[in-house]
Structure 1
Amino acid sequence: MTAPETAAEGGPKAPEDPGTALHRERAHHDACRAALAAMVEGADRQVVTGEDVSASGADAEVLGYRLRSHAKALHELPEGPLFFGRLDFAHGTGGDHEGLAHHIGRLRISEHPAAPPLVVDWRAPVSRAFYRASARDPQGVAVRRRFGWAPGSRGDSADLTGLEDERLDGSGRPDGASRPGAEGPDREGADGRGGAGAPGGIVAREVERPRVGPMRDIAATIQPEQDDLVRAELAGSVCVQGAPGTGKTAVGLHRAAYLLYTHPRRIQRAGLLILGPNRTFLSYIAEVLPSLGETGVRQSTLHEEIARRPATGTDPDATAVVKHDARTAEVLRRALYGRVRADGAQDLTVPDDFGRRRIPGAELARIVHGVLDEEPPYEVGRERVRSRIVRLLRERVERGSGPRPAAWTRRVERSRPVSACVEALWPKARPEELLAGLLSDEEQLARAADGLLDPAEQRALLWRHPPRSPRSARWSPADLVLLDEIAGLLAHPQGYGHVVVDEAQDLSPMECRAVARRVRFGSLTVLGDLAQGTTPWAAVSWPAQLAHLGKPEATIVPLTTGFRVPPAVLALAGRVLDLLDADVPRADSLRRDGVLRVRRAADGGLRAAVAAAVREALPLEGSVGVIAADHQLDGIRAALAAAGIEARGPDDPAARVTVVPATLAKGLEYDHVVAVEPAAVARSEPRGLNRLYVVLTRAVSRLDVVHEQALPWET
């Protein structure tokens, strides 16, 4: 079977016996599998051939890199079905795709690069109709077909178990889905958009399917409002205020994949970065981009991006809050530029072959003040001072003895008198030395913080026992943020073309500035939920947070349609949301399933009740997450082990039963969640109720709340 197929002459494809249609689609998948194998073999052959091509060194290196990267990406594609949908375009509508049929999958597959594709990439322009077409706006589509695959399929054609058609041209109903129990065809969303209302059978089963292991991609189930965000322009920054279960993380990852596909050269040249809150979260999402055909994308935490030194120290809460405050950026700037000494500069005398040349201190001061007015990075400013001093010297020499060669200029630039003068005027600085001096010297800190920090805040910053040298200092995580701020004042860091920041509501103003420095000339996709902010400095307003991120013009888009969290779970979480100081829209779940149970344990029987809840969940399909306040974890693990239940930590995403500290639950999800002692979670930290809101919304099918103490939403 070749593609694109041609629909029945004179109109859309005639209704087909479901069994025959399923047979034809399985045969097409076999053809796609063979073509993909040929593509992989051809890529390997190109690498071998490319190594023998005669070319200049630079050209050969670029060619070899591209060929090897392409072959590597094809080899790293995860096994799985090669398509998930199909579009049959109607006759008589005009356009390049009139009367054609296209299969939609995660990457383009063809029998030859110049041949029509057997599978069209989901990011291609023609594929947008798969997500956007509806009965009201068919966009030239006669029939949209979705395919049902056996859970966990490795891509065998026999795993194609069903199909479901939507006729969008109003010409009547086709034969229907090909397996018993599938939702009827010709469906339309509740709002008439064909996909934005209650999902059809195949989509519903995919969305609600129990999940064990890392996050899956959602290319087959993207909804129109999600598609708008995925395909937003590269130049514009977007902020997604996503309620639990609305797919904001998946949208951000699919946007990254879309940008890599649509702007490959710009993104590969400038770079793309995925920033997650912690390594557990990154391991959970690690397989999404490879499943979409994108490998080699940097996925990191902000700490990993900025760390100049290991974080071996800790700060009291009051100290950390001050260090993360935006005012501290100005304190550091003052401390750094306070080292510059323009006024009172001494005269500079430089001997050369034609005598001694002198620059009065007043002229040197004018040079320094001129550079300060330009506000360059500190190291750039230092070199500007040097070059202007040398230029002034050269002008005076040349007035008397003619032009000087470049060697003369280089010699004078590095001469001892000039270097000593530059050091006196604009001293060299290192982040560790500057910060250590500031945190160790009460008078120096007072000068830099005057009018910015009150005396108590200044005392909170000072080290009680200063280290003997910056090398022996025990830097805290907050100190690493300050060191990055100073490094950014010295020289602009290497930036990225686009950065996706997840859980952005938890970033402090100083952490936001670290992100902003890395995307000065690029764009951002900001993902988060103000109600899920749990750090002491969590954002309370997206406009303020976006200003700290350097993108105050970013568009703020709410996602409120929940696909993963059942309505009963959202209703319970809503009772906690009512207790929070968070101005966010509520989520509405499209699902109609889900189980919520709240059980009170007998006094002293909490751990036994947790073990019983897990035991009851094990016969059911899906993953089980036991989430509790961090200090309760050891006792819960011991109780599960005593009950003969094997449990792993959150770093093992494939585990059947996972015990998760509440502080690491953000961004994760489990089919069945046992939430332990909500009151303990709520009391465990200043924003404990926000943490509890996170914990309760990790369940995608069933939630058991097990408690001894009074529930926070009932007190």
Structure 2
Amino acid sequence: MPAPTSASDRIGDDDPADIPADISDVLLAERAHLARSRAALAAMRAHARSLSADAAGDWVSQQILRSLLDERVAALADHPDTPLFFGRLDSDGNGERTDDDDLPPRLYIGRRHVHDEHRRPLVIDWRAPVSRAFYQASTTDPMGMRLRRRFGYQGGELTAYEDEPLDRPDGRSPYTSKILTKEIERPRTGPMRDIVATIQPDQDDLVRTDLDRTVCVQGAPGTGKTAVGLHRAAYLLFTHRERLSRSGIMIVGPNRAFLSYISSVLPALGEVKVDQTTVAGLLGDHDAPEPPQVAALKGDARMATVLKRALWLHVTKPTEGLVYTSGGSRYRVPDYEIREIVASLRGTTRYGPGRAALAQRLAHAVLIRMEQRGEAPDDRVQDAVARSRPVRQLIDKVWPKLTPEQVLYRLLSDPAFLAAAARSDLTEQERELLSWPKPARSWRSARWSAADAALLDELADLIERTPSLGHLVVDEAQDLSAMQLRALGRRCRNGSATVLGDLAQGTTPWSARSWTDVLHHLDQRDGEVTELTLGFRTPREVLDYAARLLPAIAPGLAVPRSLRPGPGSLTVRRVDDLDAAVAEAVRAALAREGSIGVIVADELVAAVSAALTEPAGIDHVVLSPDGTAEHRLQVVPATLAKGLEYDHVIVAEPSEIVSAEPRGLARLYVVLTRAVTTLTVLHTAALPAELA
């Protein structure tokens, strides 16, 4: 392929007088289009602001319309430091144009759609079907395009362009885009950025997967799996706006620090109303401590069967009939008939609706006796009977009203009841492990653990059906227990999911060993598993070093590869004074551009932070579980590092990270792969054998 026409290596901070005239003219023309597009976006936003919700007929409709208008205004916000468009496609004029006949032959691809006062498109949303060619077109399949142009920016100023001819295949391998490489390697500051300008063809295929399909992405570090999930959410909202506005879409991350890190991605793409939460935030933020082996047992899929039995054991066999009195008449329904009604309902419906149905069935039996006496009762009479005291008293005795907390409290505090509910599904030792040694005085005063939250959610769904979302994005899914996955699966039972994770980064005692199991527990068995092994962010030397751990933690996974060369990116050094060495490494990192993360075992965080404060005198923050820390230099507990990235990572005392938990080697793998520019490993104790 001919070398691309490019200004990217000649324009940046250069004096404009040094720019060749032909390139300068191109840049001036493109800057003029950028200015026109920004002015048009401002006009679109002003128009949205001018619209009034008063036209709606009633107060409720006015509030709904006002909310929609506010969302529209927020989505049209222009961020001066964010490029409004990042690429251009020039059509060859020969491709078939059907629905897109009104599009110009020159298309600017950006984060959102912008049109002029005549509704002519100035910028095409990257999610539009025609924009796919920007990510997928090649010399072998130009997709009706003759030229792809990428733009380079500094802040919000357009400073460079790079052209790739698509209509002159000559058998040569594709060139490496300098602008693309620079954008991928750009130092990070603050939260995660979108990757809309750098999406690769295999990532684009995943992003544009249709709403009806569940996608599971096994992604090695630096392959962009999280970004793929977020961009798929944005794509689906664009493509299925009306459908998802009714059913909803949700992002579920591993912790609040992670959610804080990704919080700006979707708003930057114009999607301002997407719920983002954690499993704890979704199921209940319970924090009662319990041993890991107990939590692991509560997360086992067998608990679903135990909980179902425990709930239905509360339905007892009727031992007496029903007598209903109306005026001077008495109507009797015998006990055997009530037992038949209860048996026909038990287990065929959810517990709550079954209780309501029992009331109606009993009332219907009374109405039959009324009709046998020549009366003509109607539906109002049946409802009155169903609400009557005799019927309510009988139901409360036979089919009592229950909450999930009542059932779980009885299960964990009553060994005999647990044995009846578990039958042969749990061993005697497992039942002893689950039973509370000192139960709370009542279910109202009980403290629940994080593992209990999934059990309570299971029971809640057995009592009343959990509403389903249109789409669910689950990140770090390999760390979820079977019961947690079941809870998430209920929230997309009528929809689909994007499941993201890396089996090698599983750090919980119940971490998944296969994505087939994960999809099974999510009840998304038809989900398609795709493996991303080509990294774009992590330097090759760093990724190769971390991959030494894979045979021990995930021997079945393919070894990841990085496109980024890594000479000089890795430093491993044994030191005598850890505090002094960390301070020295931090000062060296501060002299360079980008964010810095000092990652240590959780129990060392306080000591390392204190040493940086005094005597080193280095300003920093400690990353908290809620993710509120915003600072260029962060001290990061190892358990919070998952999903985060820093330009420069300093790992202190890897052996402490490994020894802190049963899957410590997997935790170390996570920690070592957080770096996108340099990784410095400092240790006083011996390294794990896998790294030696």
The TM-score bracket by the shorter chain reads: over 0.9
Spell out the pairing of 1:269-280 with structure 2 (5 A cutoff). 269-280=246-257
What letter matches 1:327 in structure 2? Answer: R
CA apart distance, 1:263: 0.3
Q: What is the CA–CA distance in structure 2 between the aligned matches of 1:92 and 1:431, rounded to whole Å?
A: 64
Q: Is the 8 A contact 2:56 2:65 kept in 1?
A: no
1:251 pairs with 2:256: no
Question: 1:657 matched to which residue of 2?
Answer: 633
SS in 1 for 2:89: strand
1:618 pairs with 2:590: yes
CA apart distance, 1:58: 5.5
CA apart distance, 1:327: 1.1
CA apart distance, 1:55: 2.7
Decide which of 64, 71, 74 is 1:72's aligned counterpart. 74
Aligned residues: 665
Decide which of 99, 117, 122 is 1:118's aligned counterpart. 122
Question: 2:395 matched to which residue of 1?
Answer: 422
CA apart distance, 1:371: 1.1
CA apart distance, 1:588: 1.2
1:348 pairs with 2:322: yes
What letter matches 2:325 in structure 1? Answer: P
Q: Is the 8 A contact 2:86 2:150 kept in 1?
A: yes
Question: 1:82 matched to which residue of 2?
Answer: 84
CA apart distance, 1:402: 3.3
1:519 pairs with 2:492: yes
Question: 2:280 matched to which residue of 1?
Answer: 303
Q: What is the CA–CA distance in structure 2 between the aligned matches of 1:588 and 1:41, rounded to whole Å?
A: 48
SS in 1 for 2:127: coil
1:136 pairs with 2:140: yes
CA apart distance, 1:38: 0.6
Spell out the pairing of 1:436-585 with structure 2 (5 A cutoff). 436-585=409-558
Q: Is the 8 A contact 2:477 2:501 kept in 1?
A: yes
SS in 2 for 1:17: helix
CA apart distance, 1:57: 5.2
SS in 2 for 1:162: strand
Q: What is the CA–CA distance in structure 2 between the aligned matches of 1:373 and 1:283, rounded to whole Å?
A: 43
SS in 2 for 1:579: helix
CA apart distance, 1:299: 0.3
Decide which of 634, 643, 647 is 2:620's aligned counterpart. 647
Question: 2:670 matched to which residue of 1?
Answer: 694
Q: What is the CA–CA distance in structure 2 between the aligned matches of 1:565 and 1:540, rounded to whole Å?
A: 24
Q: What is the CA–CA distance in structure 2 between the aligned matches of 1:285 and 1:594, rounded to whole Å?
A: 29
Q: What is the CA–CA distance in structure 2 between the aligned matches of 1:690 and 1:487, rounded to whole Å?
A: 34
Q: Which runs of 5+ in 1 are unaligned?
A: 1-14, 173-186, 193-197
Decide which of 99, 105, 108 is 1:100's aligned counterpart. 105
SS in 1 for 2:121: coil
CA apart distance, 1:111: 1.6
Q: What is the CA–CA distance in structure 2 between the aligned matches of 1:78 and 1:553, rounded to whole Å?
A: 43
Q: What is the CA–CA distance in structure 1 between the aligned matches of 2:81 and 2:329, rounded to whole Å?
A: 77
Q: Is the 8 A contact 1:625 1:670 kept in 2?
A: yes
What letter matches 2:30 in structure 1? Answer: E
Spell out the pairing of 1:378-389 with structure 2 (5 A cutoff). 378-389=351-362
1:150-204 deviation digits (Å, cap 9, x = unpaired) = 1xx1x3xxx21100000001189xxxxxxxxxxxxxx97x5x5xxxxx7410000
Q: What is the CA–CA distance in structure 1 between the aligned matches of 2:595 and 2:234, rounded to whole Å?
A: 27
CA apart distance, 1:345: 3.2
Q: What is the CA–CA distance in structure 1 between the aligned matches of 2:360 and 2:110, rounded to whole Å?
A: 58
Question: 2:609 matched to which residue of 1?
Answer: 637
Q: What is the CA–CA distance in structure 2 between the aligned matches of 1:41 and 1:704, rounded to whole Å?
A: 50
1:338 pairs with 2:313: yes
CA apart distance, 1:64: 3.4
Q: What is the CA–CA distance in structure 1 between the aligned matches of 2:417 and 2:267, rounded to whole Å?
A: 51
Q: Is the 8 A contact 1:88 1:99 kept in 2?
A: no
Question: 1:606 matched to which residue of 2?
Answer: 578
Question: 2:342 matched to which residue of 1?
Answer: 368
1:67-93 deviation digits (Å, cap 9, x = unpaired) = 232123324867522100000001233
Q: Is the 8 A contact 1:90 1:99 kept in 2?
A: no
CA apart distance, 1:618: 1.1
1:261 pairs with 2:238: yes
1:430-478 deviation digits (Å, cap 9, x = unpaired) = 1111111111111111111120111221111111211112222121111
CA apart distance, 1:63: 3.4
Q: What is the CA–CA distance in structure 2 between the aligned matches of 1:162 and 1:554, rounded to whole Å?
A: 42
Q: Is the 8 A contact 1:78 1:291 kept in 2?
A: no
1:21 pairs with 2:19: no
353 and 224 in structure 1: CA distance in 2 versus 1, 3 angstrom threshold: same
Q: What is the CA–CA distance in structure 2 between the aligned matches of 1:333 and 1:54, rounded to whole Å?
A: 47
SS in 1 for 2:70: helix
110 and 530 in structure 1: CA distance in 2 versus 1, 3 angstrom threshold: same
1:25-57 deviation digits (Å, cap 9, x = unpaired) = 0001110111111111100101x3x32x26355
Q: Is the 8 A contact 1:77 1:293 kept in 2?
A: no
Question: 1:206 matched to which residue of 2?
Answer: 183
1:317 pairs with 2:322: no
1:255-290 deviation digits (Å, cap 9, x = unpaired) = 000000000011110000000000000000000000
In terms of mean alpha carbon deviation, does 93-102 or 271-280 score higher? 93-102
Q: What is the CA–CA distance in structure 2 between the aligned matches of 1:171 and 1:332, rounded to whole Å?
A: 63
Q: Is the 8 A contact 2:140 2:169 kept in 1?
A: no
Question: 1:168 matched to which residue of 2?
Answer: 166
318 and 78 in structure 1: CA distance in 2 versus 1, 3 angstrom threshold: farther
In terms of mean alpha carbon deviation, does 25-34 or 313-322 score higher? 313-322
1:35 pairs with 2:12: no
Q: What is the CA–CA distance in structure 2 between the aligned matches of 1:654 and 1:443, rounded to whole Å?
A: 52
Question: 1:676 matched to which residue of 2?
Answer: 652
Q: Is the 8 A contact 1:145 1:166 kept in 2?
A: yes
SS in 1 for 2:621: coil
CA apart distance, 1:118: 0.5
CA apart distance, 1:59: 4.7
Decide which of 178, 181, 193 is 1:216's aligned counterpart. 193
295 and 582 in structure 1: CA distance in 2 versus 1, 3 angstrom threshold: farther
Q: What is the CA–CA distance in structure 2 between the aligned matches of 1:452 and 1:77, rounded to whole Å?
A: 57
Q: What is the CA–CA distance in structure 2 between the aligned matches of 1:396 and 1:65, rounded to whole Å?
A: 54
Q: Is the 8 A contact 2:216 2:530 kept in 1?
A: yes
Q: Is the 8 A contact 2:312 2:347 kept in 1?
A: no
1:308-346 deviation digits (Å, cap 9, x = unpaired) = xx524111122111111111121111111011113x532
SS in 2 for 1:20: helix
What letter matches 1:390 in structure 2? Answer: A
Q: Is the 8 A contact 2:542 2:566 kept in 1?
A: no
In terms of mean alpha carbon deviation, does 645-654 or 704-713 score higher? 645-654
26 and 377 in structure 1: CA distance in 2 versus 1, 3 angstrom threshold: same
What letter matches 1:676 in structure 2? Answer: A
Q: What is the CA–CA distance in structure 1 between the aligned matches of 2:622 and 2:559, rounded to whole Å?
A: 31
Q: Is the 8 A contact 1:594 1:702 kept in 2?
A: no
1:221-267 deviation digits (Å, cap 9, x = unpaired) = 00000000000010110100000000000000000000000000111
1:329 pairs with 2:301: no
CA apart distance, 1:527: 0.2
75 and 349 in structure 1: CA distance in 2 versus 1, 3 angstrom threshold: same
How high is the TM-score relative to the length of structure 1?
A: 0.90
Q: What is the CA–CA distance in structure 2 between the aligned matches of 1:714 and 1:516, rounded to whole Å?
A: 38
Q: Is the 8 A contact 1:332 1:448 kept in 2?
A: yes
Q: What is the CA–CA distance in structure 2 between the aligned matches of 1:517 and 1:335, rounded to whole Å?
A: 20
Q: Is the 8 A contact 1:379 1:491 kept in 2?
A: yes
